[in-house]
Amino acid sequence: MKRTLKVYVSAPRGFCAGVDRAIDVVEKCLELFPPPIYVRHEIVHNRFVVERLRRKGVVFVENLDDVPDGAVLIFSAHGVSRAVREEAKSRPLRLIDATCPLVTKVHLEVHRLAKEGYDIILIGHAGHVEVEGTMGQLPPGGITLVQKPADVERLEVAHPEKIAYVTQTTLSIDETSEVVAALKKRFPAITGPHKNDICYATQNRQNAVKALLGKIDLLLVIGSQNSSNSNRLVEVARAAGVSAYLFDHPDEMKAEWFENVESVGLTAGASAPEDIVEATKAELAERFDARFEEFRYTEESIEFNLPKELAHISSPES
C-alpha cells in the first residue's frame, strides 16, 4: 500500500511575466524569420525551455563572434551590458531585445544615478549574467558589487555623502534586507529604491514558500541549477530548517528525500514550465498516495508587451 503524502502546490509559481515575454519573443521570431535564430545567453535559465527552443532552430551563444552577419539576434531576459549592446549595434544584425522590463528599469536607474553623480552599489551575485549586464551599464569601476553584509565593511567609497544602491531582481528578500541594513548603518545618507529592486515574481514565490513552511517537512523546487530565483526558494526553506531540493525534472527526485516526510510543498522558479510541475505531481502520485492541495499566497496579473522591434511586424518575411 502506498504511503499517504500531503502535497501543497504553491502559487504563484513558475513562469513570470518577464519569462513569458522572453519565450514569446523567441517563438514569434521563429514564426517570422527562417532559422537559425540567435539568442545571446540562455533566453531564460531553464534547461527544458532552452532545449525545446534549440530543437526549433534557436542557437544560444555567449559571444557575438559566433553570430553571423545578417542574423536575427535576441538579447535574453537577463539583459546585457552597454559594451555588448554597442558591439551588436555596430554589426549588420537584426536585434531584438527580450530583456525583462524590470531589469531594464534597474539599468535606467543606474544611468540616472550616475548622471546625478552618485557612487553606485549593486547588491547581487558575482558572475550572474544579470549582474554582469547591470554592472556593464557603466564603464569599469562605475558600480561596486556587494554580495553580503560583511562586504559592506570593506567598501571604499569616494563620496559617502552621495551614495545609492540598486539590487539584482532575483535575490532573497531577507538577505537583501540585511545588506541594505548594513549599508544604511555605514552610510546613513545612502538612497535606494522604495523597497528594493527584487521583482514581484521573486517576492511572491518566496513569500508563498515562507507562508507554507509551517505546514511542510520538505520543499520541492522545480528549476535549473543556474536559476537564481529558484535557488533563493531553496535557501528560504533551508534557512527556516526545512529540507529543500532543486531539480529540473521529477526523475531526479530521490527516495531518501521523502524519509519521515508526511507533508511536502511544491513550487517552481520563475523560469520553470508548468508541464514539469504537472509531471512532478504525476510522479508523486505514482510513488505515494498523494493528496494535492493548492496553496495560494496571492494572485498575479502582470503582463508585458512584446518589444517594440516586434510590435510592428505581423507577417513572415520572404
Using CB under 6 A, pick the residue from 7, 9, 11, 16 that binds ligand SF4.
16
> What is the number of alpha carbons within 13 Å of residue 210 lying toward its C-beta?
13
Residue number with the smallest Cβ distance to ligand SF4? 18
Minimum Å gap between C-beta 28 and ligand SF4 is 17
> Does residue 169 touch ligand SF4 according to CB under 6 A?
yes
Element containing residue 73 per DSSP (H, E): strand 72-75
Please tell me whether residue 9 adopts helix, strand or coil conformation: strand
Q: Would you say 151 or 300 has its CB closer to ligand SF4?
A: 300
> Does residue 267 touch ligand SF4 according to CB under 6 A?
no
Minimum Å gap between C-beta 95 and ligand SF4 is 19
Residue 154 sits at φ, ψ, to 5 deg, of -90, 0
> Does residue 103 touch ligand SF4 according to CB under 6 A?
yes
C-alpha angle 306/127/191, rounded to 5°?
A: 75
Set 31, 62, 109, 130: catalytic member: 130
Q: Which stretch binds ligand SF4 (CB under 6 A): 35-43, 98-106, 110-118, 216-224?
A: 98-106
CB 179 within 8 A of CB 149: yes
Using CB under 6 A, pick the residue from 46, 202, 224, 227 that binds ligand SF4.
202
Q: Which residues contact 255 (CB under 8 A, 6 or more apart)?
A: none
CB 69 within 8 A of CB 92: yes
Beta bridge partners of 9: 266, 294
The 226-245 contact track toward ligand SF4, x by CB under 6 A, reads ---x----------------
Q: Would you say 7 or 43 has its CB closer to ligand SF4?
A: 43
> Does residue 199 touch ligand SF4 according to CB under 6 A?
yes
Q: What is the DSSP letter of 191?
A: B
Q: How far is CA 311 from CA 25, 39, 307, in A?
A: 10, 19, 6
Q: Would you say 169 or 176 has its CB closer to ligand SF4?
A: 169
Q: Which stretch binds ligand SF4 (CB under 6 A): 147-155, 198-206, 255-263, 285-293?
A: 198-206
For residue 130, indicate whether it is catalytic: yes
Q: How far is CA 94 from CA 31, 38, 115, 143, 242, in A?
A: 15, 10, 30, 30, 47
How many amino acids of this chain bind ligand SF4 (CB under 6 A)?
15
CB 44 within 8 A of CB 15: no
Using CB under 6 A, pick the residue from 17, 121, 123, 212 that binds ligand SF4.
17
Of residues 242-261, which lie at the interface with ligand SF4 (CB under 6 A)? none
Q: Would you say 7 or 110 has its CB closer to ligand SF4?
A: 110
Residue 176 identity (one-letter amino acid): T
Q: Distance between CA atoms of 5 and 263, rounded to whole angstroms?
A: 6
Minimum Å gap between C-beta 269 and ligand SF4 is 8
CB atoms closer than 10 angstroms to residue 207: 16
Q: Distance between CA atoms of 143 and 312, rounded to whole angstroms?
A: 36
Q: Would you say 49 or 163 has its CB closer to ligand SF4?
A: 49
Q: Which residues bind to ligand SF4, rule: CB under 6 A?
A: 16-19, 77, 100, 102-103, 169-170, 199, 201-202, 229, 270
Active site residues: 130
